[in-house]
A and B are shown apart, each in its own frame.
Chain A
Amino acid sequence: MSRGRNQESYSATSIAVGAVPMIEMVGNRNIMVEGSTGILLYESENIKINTNKMVVSFSGRNLTVRCISNSCVEITGFITKVEFMT
């Protein structure tokens, strides 16, 4: 049976080389995004983070970027919605 594009699973190698972002959530209060290529929007209600293959949008209240480095962004706040825009 052939698998469609939506059903394609990402291998560990693709995560390791940063082809796809790795998102780690602690409840809905803390999110760590690895594989970021930049912040596209920074507001207290919405933060959009660019990655290689998609834009990840986080909506919520009192959102702040706690820490930012070359490929990693940590977001804290009350997160209500996560969107993936390809």
Chain B
Amino acid sequence: MLNKIVRFVLGYVDFTAEGRFPERFLNLTSRSGVNLFNTVPSSKGLSASMSLSDYFTIRKIARKSRVRLKVVGRHGMPFIVNKYSNRIGIPVGGFLGIILIMILSNFIWSVQITGIDTVSNTYIRNLLNDYGISVGAYKNNIDVKSVERNIQLNVNEIGWMSINLTGNIASVELKAKAIKPEIKDTVTPSNLKAKCDGVITKINVRRGVTAVTKGSGVTKGDLLVSGIAESSKENVDTIRYLRASGEIFADVMSEKKFSIPSSYEYCHIMDNYAVRNNLKVLWLSFPTKMSFDFYEGFARQYRTENLTINETVLPISITTQTDFETGISKAEPDMESAGRIFENQAALYEIFECGEKSVVSRDMHIMQAENGYNCVIDYVFNENIAENVDFIVTE
């Protein structure tokens, strides 16, 4: 293999030696230190190969051994160089290519962010951009340690950060800050009291003395589970103070009111939109598609696509900016559509505001008022009504 590489670099020729004494030609070449290879005898002489530099020295030997040399093949780098020597564009292009690679290797081509889900990539990209780390940035000017330190100090969600400039890629690895766990107080004596009125449906006490029974009604502030445990052993009364814990579930009545006006305006996206494209190469950005439509009200959307070859992100991207025209419409809902709106509002309320409460029953009343529609919903929720109330023990 090494032989082949050396021969290719130095160049070699295949030739035929035809004449009366091909053996003498072989002997003379070997004695003069010329290396022949791939020698194959033929009817008129032989064919062989030799390095390009040797070929110029064997003319005398050929005359002496009365053979006629004929080159049948040329191989190797010198012939390739010679072939393209008249095309000045190729060496110039190669030289410019090398210069281009040297220049471009000093810039960041892509920024890769990994390791964190609690903070959005867009936010981190903007943050890095503020500190000079973005596509097209001159990487020799970046003080990585300083950027890491500043971002970690300024962003609470980030606990650890590492920026690695490998080649043209800035790899940013992040770790979320570990949130300090809430330490539950298990020592201070307390009672469980009702935080609202209700009818008890389920009792689950882990510690303490239960003061209510299933099916009994309680009002806000009533004692549910006592943290004072009394015991009597061998005629000796002892009192222990506990931190009561457990869940007391109760059906709780609740009322929720919604209202909508009889007519209102709302903003919505219309059919018209304008698209503008921007081609960005490193830090250079120029428009490739323009639009002269401008809207009084619009919603703007950006979408950026990078050119990727073999999973390598190149510093060439196209950003599409789309402006959707927005308009304002007036709505005058009737009773039926108002009912649908209230249904939606009630569903949103139950999902986002009611937490762990489960809905036992819902009774919706819609009324038409002067200015619009009012809705009153009578809910019955089943929820844990127990809350810890600490008490102080004095000697």
Q: Which residues of A contact B (CB under 8 A)?
A: 38-44, 63-70
Is A70 touching B33 in the complex (CB atoms < 8 A)?
yes
Is B39 touching A64 in the complex (CB atoms < 8 A)?
yes
Task: Add 5 more A-B contacts to A38-B26, A68-B39, A70-B33 (CB < 8 A).
Answer: A39-B27, A42-B23, A63-B41, A64-B40, A67-B35
Is A38 touching B41 in the complex (CB atoms < 8 A)?
no
Q: Which of B33-49 contact A (CB under 8 A)?
A: 33, 35-37, 39-41, 46
Q: Hey, which chain B residues are within 8 Å of A43, CB to CB?
A: 41
List, sorted by A's number, 13 A–B pairs whose CB atoms are closer than 8 Å: A38-B27, A39-B26, A42-B23, A42-B46, A64-B39, A64-B41, A65-B26, A65-B39, A66-B37, A66-B39, A68-B36, A70-B30, A70-B33
Q: How far is the CA of A63 from the CA of B39 in the complex (A)?
A: 10
Is A69 touching B30 in the complex (CB atoms < 8 A)?
yes
Q: Is B303 engaged at the interface, CB distance under 8 Å to the other chain?
A: no
Q: Hey, which chain A residues are within 8 Å of B23, CB to CB?
A: 38-42
Closest to A38 in B: B27
A56 smallest CB distance to B (angstroms)? 14
Q: Is B22 engaged at the interface, CB distance under 8 Å to the other chain?
A: yes
B387 smallest CB distance to A (angstroms)? 96
Q: How far is the CA of A65 from the CA of B17 in the complex (A)?
A: 14
Q: Hey, which chain B residues are within 8 Å of A63, CB to CB?
A: 41
Q: How far is the CA of A70 from the CA of B31 in the complex (A)?
A: 5
Is A42 touching B30 in the complex (CB atoms < 8 A)?
no
Closest to B42 in A: A44
Partner among B22, B29, B31 whose Cβ is within 8 Å of the Cβ of A42: B22
Q: Hey, which chain B residues are within 8 Å of A69, CB to CB?
A: 30, 35
Q: Hey, which chain A residues are within 8 Å of B29, CB to CB?
A: 68
Q: How far is the CA of A44 from the CA of B39 in the complex (A)?
A: 11
Closest to A50 in B: B27
Q: How far is the CA of A69 from the CA of B50 in the complex (A)?
A: 13
Q: How far is the CA of A42 from the CA of B22 in the complex (A)?
A: 8
B240 smallest CB distance to A (angstroms)? 98
Is A68 touching B30 in the complex (CB atoms < 8 A)?
yes
Q: Hey, which chain A residues are within 8 Å of B27, CB to CB?
A: 38-39
Q: Hey, which chain B residues are within 8 Å of A70, CB to CB?
A: 30-31, 33
Is A42 touching B41 in the complex (CB atoms < 8 A)?
yes
A51 smallest CB distance to B (angstroms)? 13
A10 smallest CB distance to B (angstroms)? 24
Closest to B26 in A: A39
Question: Which among A43, A65, A66, A69 has the greatest number of chain B C-beta atoms within 10 A?
Answer: A65
Partner among A40, A44, A66, A67 whose Cβ is within 8 Å of the Cβ of B41: A44
Q: How far is the CA of A39 from the CA of B17 in the complex (A)?
A: 15
Q: How far is the CA of A42 from the CA of B39 in the complex (A)?
A: 10
Q: Hey, which chain A residues are within 8 Å of B40, CB to CB?
A: 44, 64
Is B22 touching A67 in the complex (CB atoms < 8 A)?
no
Q: Hey, which chain A residues are within 8 Å of B37, CB to CB?
A: 66-67
Closest to B22 in A: A42
Q: Hey, which chain A residues are within 8 Å of B22, CB to CB?
A: 42
Leading 5 A-B pairs by shortest Cβ distance: A38-B27, A39-B23, A65-B39, A68-B30, A42-B23
Q: How far is the CA of A6 from the CA of B331 in the complex (A)?
A: 126
Q: How far is the CA of A43 from the CA of B39 in the complex (A)?
A: 11
Q: Hey, which chain B residues are within 8 Å of A68, CB to CB?
A: 26, 29-30, 36, 39
Q: Hey, which chain A residues are within 8 Å of B33, CB to CB?
A: 70
Q: Hey, which chain B residues are within 8 Å of A64, CB to CB?
A: 39-41
Is B26 touching A42 in the complex (CB atoms < 8 A)?
yes
B17 smallest CB distance to A (angstroms)? 10
Q: Hey, which chain A residues are within 8 Å of B31, CB to CB?
A: 70
Q: How far is the CA of A40 from the CA of B77 in the complex (A)?
A: 35
Q: Hey, which chain A residues are within 8 Å of B35, CB to CB?
A: 67, 69
Q: Hey, which chain B residues are within 8 Å of A44, CB to CB?
A: 40-41
Q: Hey, which chain B residues are within 8 Å of A67, CB to CB?
A: 35-37
Q: Hey, which chain A residues are within 8 Å of B30, CB to CB?
A: 68-70
A49 smallest CB distance to B (angstroms)? 10
Closest to B31 in A: A70
A59 smallest CB distance to B (angstroms)? 13
Q: How far is the CA of A44 from the CA of B22 in the complex (A)?
A: 13
Q: How far is the CA of A66 from the CA of B35 in the complex (A)?
A: 11
Q: How far is the CA of A63 from the CA of B29 in the complex (A)?
A: 20
Q: How far is the CA of A66 from the CA of B3 in the complex (A)?
A: 14
Q: How far is the CA of A43 from the CA of B37 in the complex (A)?
A: 16
B23 smallest CB distance to A (angstroms)? 5
